[in-house]
């Protein structure tokens, strides 16, 4: 069966398999194949595979040991896994029910099946969900059904999808940024959520501050710092990051002006409104990771112009990377600008 696979030399097989497994990119319903010294590792989301890997279509057999939803439906449904929650995205309620039934009857380790019931909305970027299936033994309370522990690149994240933003599709992107973090640097995540940037940064030895306006996300961020043994290097602040950056927040007495060697701004659509705050946080030599969603004709231009308008002439602005994270909608791209600001 033709399937998107990462192709690597046999000697790099184990290291590659482990890296793809940590990013939740392995397809567990297909076999890994060895041919002519090459290993073909089937992947679930070829677009999310880091650019350092080669992705090719290759004929790989189905794994016989497990019954997957596709075996029961006769076609491949699209779904995402978040811990033991499976997320589908179906407008047709009958079709959603059919997929949920197949997921529950399959050998996937699943406790709850959810369907997206709205787009992400409001400040907190949280969406509504329909619960399609859940463990009968669960108490009849939405939080229990929508809470899970998700693993990403060796870190554990507890979260409740009904109360916080989290996208497993960004795992590879977060890893790309985390790999740039150096021991002992000061990193500031302006829109931290449950900590998927903060925790791996702290694991690399950085002192990290994460701010979020969503109090539930900050509670999970504190829990996740503890879970991953990095609570000593993490400060989690509940509040509006504009107040924190201005030294005007009830949640902290600390002054983070001129503090940050790295600033993460993952609030696409409105990050430009927070650039003044980011500049206040930046130290004399600071890398800014600026996320944006723009038309494919000029995905980086508006972000770069906004950063220059906010930072110059106080800082020299050098764009180090223009990176496409994923396609967001037809003709729209989710991108990241890695920008060095030097005072």
Query: Is 123 near ligand SAM (CB under 6 A)?
Result: yes
Stretch that binds ligand SAM, among 46-54, 72-80, 206-214, 328-336 (CB under 6 A): 206-214
- Total residues contacting ligand SAM (rule CB under 6 A)? 20
Considering only 125, 150, 262, 280, the residue that binds ligand SAM (CB under 6 A) is 125
Considering only 20, 44, 170, 271, the residue that binds ligand SAM (CB under 6 A) is 170
Stretch that binds ligand SAM, among 78-86, 208-216, 248-256, 335-343 (CB under 6 A): 208-216
Query: Is 292 near ligand SAM (CB under 6 A)?
Result: no
Task: Report the residue number, 69 or 193, with the smaller CB distance to ligand SAM.
Answer: 193
Query: Is 165 near ligand SAM (CB under 6 A)?
Result: yes
Task: Report the residue number, 58 or 289, with the smaller CB distance to ligand SAM.
Answer: 289
Q: How far is the CB of 42 from ligand SAM (least distance, A)?
A: 27
Stretch that binds ligand SAM, among 20-28, 88-96, 121-129, 245-253 (CB under 6 A): 121-129
Query: Is 240 near ligand SAM (CB under 6 A)?
Result: yes
Considering only 224, 266, 294, 334, the residue that binds ligand SAM (CB under 6 A) is 266
Considering only 24, 148, 203, 214, the residue that binds ligand SAM (CB under 6 A) is 214
Query: Is 124 near ligand SAM (CB under 6 A)?
Result: yes
What residue number has its CB nearest to ligand SAM? 193
Query: Is 325 near ligand SAM (CB under 6 A)?
Result: no
87 phi/psi in degrees, rounded to 5 = -110, 125
Measuring CA to CA, which residue among 187, 210, 172, 177 is closest to residue 338?
177
Considering only 19, 207, 212, 292, the residue that binds ligand SAM (CB under 6 A) is 212
Distance CA 86, CA 112 (A): 6
Stretch that binds ligand SAM, among 34-42, 52-60, 143-151, 163-171 (CB under 6 A): 163-171
Query: Is 83 near ligand SAM (CB under 6 A)?
Result: no
Instruction: For the chain, give the secondary structure using H, E and C.
Output: CEEEEEEEEHHHHHHHHHHHHHCCCECCCECCEEECCEEEEEECCHHHCCCCCEEEEEECCECCCCCCHHHHHCCCCCEEEECCEEEECCCCHHHHHHHHHHHHHCCCCCCEEEEECCCCECCCCECCEEEEEECCCCCCCHHHHHEEEEEECCEEEEEECCCCCCCHHHHHHHHHHHCCCCCCCEEEECCCCCCCCHHHHHHCCCEEEEEECCHHHHHHHHHHHHHCCCHHHEEEEECCHHHHHCCCCCCCCCCCCCCEEEEEECCCCCHHHHHHHHHHHEEEEEEEEEEEEEECCCCCHHHHHHHHHHHCCCCEEEEEEEEEEEEEECCEEEEEEEEEEEC
Q: Are 209 and 233 in contact (CB under 8 A)?
A: no
Residue 115, number of CB atoms within 10 A of its CB: 22
Query: Is 334 near ligand SAM (CB under 6 A)?
Result: no
Query: Is 217 near ligand SAM (CB under 6 A)?
Result: yes
How far, CA to CA in Å, does 32 sit from each of 3, 14, 81, 107?
11, 11, 20, 19
Task: Report the residue number, 63 or 151, with the smaller CB distance to ligand SAM.
Answer: 151
Considering only 79, 188, 197, 201, the residue that binds ligand SAM (CB under 6 A) is 197
Query: Is 241 near ligand SAM (CB under 6 A)?
Result: yes
User: By the criterion CB under 6 A, which residues form the site for ligand SAM?
Assistant: 123-125, 165-166, 170, 191-193, 196-197, 211-214, 217, 240-241, 266-267
């Amino acid at each position: 069966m033709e399937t998107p696979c990462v192709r690597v030399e046999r000697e790099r097989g184990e290291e590659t398999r482990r890296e793809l497994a940590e990013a939740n990119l392995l397809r567990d319903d297909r076999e890994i194949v060895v041919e002519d010294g090459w290993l073909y590792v089937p992947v679930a989301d070829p677009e999310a595979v880091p650019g350092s890997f080669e992705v090719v279509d290759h004929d790989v057999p189905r794994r016989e040991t497990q019954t997957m939803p596709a075996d029961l439906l006769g076609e491949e449904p699209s779904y995402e896994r978040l811990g033991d929650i499976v997320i589908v995205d179906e407008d047709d309620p009958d079709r959603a029910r059919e997929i949920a039934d197949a997921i529950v009857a399959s050998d996937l380790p699943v406790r709850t099946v959810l369907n997206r019931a709205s787009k992400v909305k409001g400040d907190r970027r949280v969406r509504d969900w329909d619960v399609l299936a859940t463990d009968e033994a669960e108490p009849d309370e939405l939080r229990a059904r929508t809470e899970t522990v998700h693993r990403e690149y060796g870190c554990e994240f507890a979260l409740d999808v009904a109360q916080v933003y989290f996208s497993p599709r960004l795992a590879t992107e977060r890893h790309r940024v985390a790999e740039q973090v150096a021991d002992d640097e000061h990193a500031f995540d302006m829109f931290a959520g449950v900590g998927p940037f903060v925790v791996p940064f702290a694991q690399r030895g950085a002192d990290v501050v994460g701010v979020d306006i969503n109090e539930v996300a900050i509670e999970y961020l504190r829990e996740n710092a503890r879970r991953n043994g990095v609570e000593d290097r993490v400060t989690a602040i509940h509040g509006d990051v504009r107040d924190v950056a201005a030294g005007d927040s009830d949640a902290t007495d600390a002054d983070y002006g001129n503090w940050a060697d790295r600033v993460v701004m993952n609030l696409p659509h409105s990050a430009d409104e927070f650039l003044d705050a980011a500049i206040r946080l930046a130290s004399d030599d600071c890398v800014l990771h600026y996320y944006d969603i723009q038309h494919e004709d000029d995905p980086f231009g508006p972000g770069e112009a906004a950063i220059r308008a906010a930072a110059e002439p106080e800082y020299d602005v050098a764009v180090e990377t223009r990176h496409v994270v994923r396609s967001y909608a037809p003709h729209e791209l989710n991108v990241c600008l890695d920008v060095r600001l030097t005072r």
